[in-house]
């Protein structure tokens, strides 16, 4: 039985394991980002995200309270409790020390001998006794190691969602994104049909030209396009950014749709033409419905790209805070003076990903369904 062709359990296992491995590999950064989004900047700096679910043994410093200084048998003594003085009600000390260089050298209950004949005793509950043969003038530091429970908070999300003008930025992003997705699809569908099914001289050259435009980096066109917009009188405005996104998106859209439409069965289109359909009718009644999966997949591409765009928005929209889109708002306003707030960045990534995810999952079934499947058999 084991030698029957087509069943190779060992190979199946290898495939399954490598799939699982790849999935995990791809997910790790996202999970890390998600975990970081619940932590503040200092936590991120202190410990790695994969250690965050566990209590961390962390070292702390506290000042002994000079007000409790008493003199006993020629010794100056300070007594107190680290936790009550520090404002925390409870805690437990795992180890302590009297110098910054050895913050966890002594077990609780033992006595540490410090420089200049000073001693320090700390109990597990935080009670400490500090003695010195000479007068104590400055509050001495006590260092201790203590376990801090894992700490997650929604603070980053709160900061982002409650910041001024965030709702405005969300609306602005939608104002940019929706037309910037629809306009190129409209134009590209017509163009793709013409390039795929209409015979006219120079068609091949046009297709080559469009494919050639795919490799032109959009950064090249930023300054001349903005100059043109200023000259025409559009300036920095929504109309300008729609046109810019349309222009930058069209080569890929035409190329993608044209390749898809060319693959549609010739029989259907020719029989429609024999029956007297005009090109426009063929386009709207036959090609367009059949091309729905391609239209949907390009729509997803274009939507994601315009949603995440920062550069084009910075160039083609005015720079005042009323016209910030979400990406600009996050990069220029929320990340702090010099971009050091990683927690905010992570949380912002998950907030701004929400809408594209919804779009992806609602449109995705069109990709999978493939309308063509039923029509040709």
Q: What CA–CA distance (Å, rounded) separates 128 from 140?
A: 12
Residue 43 as a binder of another protein (CB under 8 A): the answer is no
The count of chain residues that interact with another protein, using the rule CB under 8 A, is 35
Residue 87: CB atoms within 10 Å: 6
What's the closest the beta carbon of residue 330 comes to another protein, in angstroms? 10
- What value does the CA radius of gyration of the chain take, rounded to a whole number of Å? 33
Residue 86 as a binder of another protein (CB under 8 A): the answer is no
Residue 226 as a binder of another protein (CB under 8 A): the answer is yes
- 121: helix, coil or strand? strand
Closest among 30, 58, 87 to 150, alpha carbons compared = 58
Q: Which helix (H) or strand (E) holds 358?
A: helix 342-369
- Rounded to the nearest 10 degrees, what angle do helices 292-308 and 166-197 cross at? 140
- Please name every residue paired with 75 in a beta bridge, in sequence order, or none if there are none: 72
Q: What CA–CA distance (Å, rounded) separates 249 from 180?
A: 9
Select from 10-18, 93-101, 193-201, 295-303 the region that touches another protein (CB under 8 A): 93-101
Length of the chain: 377
Q: Are 98 and 114 in contact (CB under 8 A)?
A: yes
**Terminal Cα distance for the chain, rounded:** 36
| 81 backbone dihedrals φ, ψ, rounded to 5° | -130, 125
What's the closest the beta carbon of residue 101 comes to another protein, in angstroms? 5
Select from 19-27, 166-174, 249-257, 327-335 the region that touches another protein (CB under 8 A): 327-335
E-strand ranges in 115-177 read 119-122, 127-132, 141-148
Residue with tokens 């940019």, as numbered in its chain:
176
Sole binder of another protein in the list 230, 271, 278, 375 (CB under 8 A): 230
Residue 92 as a binder of another protein (CB under 8 A): the answer is no
Select from 121-129, 199-207, 221-229, 290-298 the region that touches another protein (CB under 8 A): 221-229
| Contacts with another protein, 122-141, as mask; x by CB under 8 A | -------------------x
Select from 223-231, 256-264, 290-298, 300-308 the region that touches another protein (CB under 8 A): 223-231
Sole binder of another protein in the list 22, 45, 262, 371 (CB under 8 A): 45
| Contacts with another protein, 169-208, as mask; x by CB under 8 A | ----------------------------------------
Q: Which helix (H) or strand (E) holds 34?
A: helix 9-36
DSSP 8-state code for residue 135: P
Sole binder of another protein in the list 336, 358, 369, 370 (CB under 8 A): 336
What's the closest the beta carbon of residue 245 comes to another protein, in angstroms? 17
Structure tokens at 245: 């996104």
| Contacts with another protein, 54-83, as mask; x by CB under 8 A | -----xxx----------------------
Select from 67-75, 276-284, 298-306, 330-338 the region that touches another protein (CB under 8 A): 330-338
| Contacts with another protein, 98-117, as mask; x by CB under 8 A | -xxxxx--------------
Give me the residues that bind another protein (CB under 8 A), please: 42, 45, 59-61, 99-103, 141, 143, 222-223, 226-227, 229-230, 235-236, 314-315, 319-321, 331-340
């Amino acid at each position: 039985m084991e030698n029957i062709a087509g069943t190779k359990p060992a190979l199946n296992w290898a495939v399954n394991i490598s799939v699982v491995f790849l999935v995990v590999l791809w997910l790790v950064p996202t999970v890390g980002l998600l975990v970081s989004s619940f932590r503040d900047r200092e936590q991120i700096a202190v410990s790695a995200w994969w250690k965050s679910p566990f209590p961390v043994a962390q070292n702390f410093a506290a000042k002994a309270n000079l007000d409790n200084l008493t003199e006993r048998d020629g010794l100056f003594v300070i007594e107190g409790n680290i936790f009550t003085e520090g404002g925390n009600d409870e805690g437990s000390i795992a180890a302590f020390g009297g110098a910054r260089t050895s913050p966890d050298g002594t077990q609780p209950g033992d006595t540490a001998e410090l420089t200049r004949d000073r001693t320090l005793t700390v109990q597990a509950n935080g009670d400490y006794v500090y003695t010195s043969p000479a007068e104590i003038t400055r509050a001495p530091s006590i260092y201790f190691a203590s376990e801090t429970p894992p700490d997650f908070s929604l603070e980053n999300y709160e900061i982002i969602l409650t910041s001024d003008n965030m709702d405005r930025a969300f609306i602005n992003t939608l104002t940019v994104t929706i037309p910037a997705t629809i306009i190129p699809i409209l134009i590209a569908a017509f163009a793709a049909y013409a390039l795929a099914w209409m015979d006219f001289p120079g068609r091949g050259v046009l297709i080559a030209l469009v494919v050639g435009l795919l490799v032109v980096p959009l950064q090249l066109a930023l300054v001349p396009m903005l100059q043109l917009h200023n000259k025409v009188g559009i300036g920095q405005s929504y109309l300008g950014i729609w046109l810019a996104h349309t222009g930058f998106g069209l080569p890929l859209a035409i190329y993608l749709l044209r390749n898809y439409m060319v693959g549609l069965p010739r029989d259907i289109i020719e029989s429609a033409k024999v029956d007297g359909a005009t090109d426009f009718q063929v386009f709207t009644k036959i090609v367009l419905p059949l091309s729905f999966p391609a239209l949907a997949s390009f729509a997803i591409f274009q939507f994601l790209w315009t949603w995440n765009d920062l550069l084009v928005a910075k160039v083609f929209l005015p720079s005042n805070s009323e016209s910030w889109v979400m990406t600009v708002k996050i990069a220029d306003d929320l990340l702090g003076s010099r971009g050091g707030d990683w927690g905010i960045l992570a949380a912002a990534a998950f907030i701004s990903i929400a809408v594209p995810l919804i779009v992806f999952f609602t449109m995705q079934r069109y990709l999978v369904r493939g309308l063509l499947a039923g029509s040709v058999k």
